[in-house]
Amino acid sequence: MSISNEEFFKKVVAHCKEYGFVFPSSEIYDGLSAVYDYGSRGIPLKNNLRQYWWQSMTRVHKNIVGIDAAIFMHPRVWKASGHVDGFSDPMIDNKDSKKRYRADQLIEDYIDKQDAKIQKEVEKASMRFGDSFDEKKYRETNPRVLEYQAKIDRAASVLKEGLENDNLKMIKDFIVEQNIVCPISGTCNWTDIRQFNLMYSTQMNATDGGEDALFLRPETAQGIFVNFLNVQKTARMKIPFGIAQTGKAFRNEIVARQFIMRMKEFEQMEMQFFVRPGTEIEWYNQWKESRMKWHLAMGIKPEHYRFHEHDKLAHYANAAVDIEYQFPFGFKELEGIHSRTDFDLSRHQEFSGKKIKYHDPELNESYTPYVIETSIGLDRLFLMTMCENLKDETLDNGETRTVLCVHPSLAPVKAAIMPLVNKDGLPELADEIYKKLHLDFDCFIEEKDSIGKRYRRQDAIGTPFCITVDHESLNDNAVTVRDRDTMEQKRVAIAELHPLISSKVNMNILLSKLD
């Protein structure tokens, strides 16, 4: 029986909690809105995703190096970057429910609804006309589809114009005119729209405010920009080259939504690639391609991804695209690739009064490099991994299993070692096998319950190999290895376990697809 997208998403969230992937923060105090903790299964999966990204940047590319800048930065950094003046969301309150929403998201949801209506019309027509159905023509001519499409176009243009010209009244008028209601109260009784800055502030010393006021970084990228010359000189990098960084970022997301999709404290993995002015669009296209390759290497279905080119460019960008993933709640941004021109380096030069130029030995010329940025949220990537890979399967014998078909290189546990019974020397042999494997692979000794139940528990967390130690193992020095995906079982000599596991879970399996 298939379940709705909404039910599936609820299942993902419940699964994350039940199997120790992700918990609400401070849960015994009823949690903290949009803040989450990773559990014992979540953290190795998150670490593996981070490692895959990190190695794909710093090992696969000989011209990318890493840094780890502090979360606290000089307050002027955020003035220079434009975050103090411009990093805000347009918020609107419903006077009846007292709930606050992002006005742009209300309109985006409205667009999604019109889009879903078009999709429904197309599906109905396709069933009606069968093989002779010409979808393109139908979309271009059917009056109902055209009506929905016109609504989408108008909503998108109001949003674009309203945001670009800071005309918040125009956006509110559209919300009221289209009777876009609050999902809680069902009314259209809205306040005016106001801009809210998303940065959290604290202070450096005991005194409040003023010069001591600090911001928690809302993106990791600025730590790279301010270190550009330090890294370029000490690592002796020549343009084109990149600097990669992973780390926490903080945003006061007033509207917490969709589990770890939109968090107040989250982790970013960002890479700034510094290039000669005039070559940036070529590099932008290369990074678009290379980042998509990275995603597909994990075995994610290509149709679950799409590029979304930005119509509205940030003031510092001359090209920008999102890689969107089809989450159960629709296609949403997973990663951004931006051609940021020389905006950031120039602004830091201006605000710090320090010269930030690169001397190009080939051109014998100094210039401010242009930058291509790739930026992905680790938590969103984690959510994508769960949504893509969590499956309910019906087996040949009619039983069902829940399995996390995550790529073996990313799986939180690589091998579960299972003594058939807890006596007769089998736990001791299981321990010996554990000792042979655990320094290279995350292993787990599974002792409780029937083997069938133990398999189900390991399937649910995505363990690629289950290794059963039985009485025969004491004589033949071999064990039964069961494969997560095929569920096939075969006898394997204990001495062969290490190469067998390595052949499937080594991170290089993923990385070699990128070369």
Residues at the interface with ligand GAP (CB under 6 A) = 219, 221, 251, 253, 262-263, 266, 268, 270, 333-336, 373, 375-377, 379-380
> What angle in degrees, to the nearest 10, is found between the helix axes of 378-389 and 42-58?
110
Residue burial 91-126, b: 16+ Cβ < 10 Å; e: rest: bbbbeebeeebbbbbbbbebbbebbebbeebbeebe
- Residue 370 or residue 444: which is nearer to ligand GAP going by CB? 370
Report, in Å, the least distance between residue 462 CB and ligand GAP: 22
Nearest to ligand GAP of 45, 429 (CB atom)? 45
Least spacing, CB of residue 261 vs ligand GAP, in Å: 6
How many angstroms from the chain centroid is the CA of residue 281?
A: 24
By the 10 Å C-beta count (0-12 exposed, 13-18 middle, 19+ buried), 302 is classed as exposed
Cβ 201 to ligand GAP, closest distance in Å? Answer: 17
Task: Quote the least distance from Cβ 154 to ligand GAP, whole Å.
Answer: 26
Kindly tell me which of 66 and 427 has the beta carbon lying closer to ligand GAP.
66
| Residues composing the chain | 515
Closest distance to ligand GAP from the beta carbon of 266 (Å): 4
Q: Tell me whether residue 56 or residue 375 sits nearer to ligand GAP (CB atom).
A: 375
Contacts of 263 by beta carbon, 8 Å cutoff, 6+ apart: 34, 35, 36, 253, 256, 379
**Considering the complex, what minimum distance in angstroms separates the CB of residue 246 from ligand GAP?**
11
**Residue partners of 325: CB distance under 8 A and separation at least 6:** 300, 304, 305, 331, 332, 334, 380, 384, 387, 388
Q: How many CB atoms lie within 10 A of CB 22?
A: 26
Q: Which position's Cβ is nearest ligand GAP?
A: 377
CA distance 297 to 511: 8
**Per-residue DSSP letter, 401:** E
Question: Which residue's CB is nearer to ligand GAP, number 334 or number 511?
Answer: 334
Q: How far is the CB of 376 from ligand GAP (least distance, A)?
A: 5
CB of 498 to ligand GAP, least distance (A): 36
For ligand GAP, the closer of residues 114 and 245 by Cβ is 245
What SS3 class is residue 291? helix
Beta-bridged to residue 245, according to DSSP, are: 270
Q: For residues 432 and 464, what is the distance between their CA atoms, to the nearest angstrom? A: 20
Is there a contact between 372 and 339 (Cβ–Cβ < 8 Å)? yes
Closer to ligand GAP by Cβ: residue 377 or 464 = 377
CB-nearer residue toward ligand GAP: 266 or 455: 266
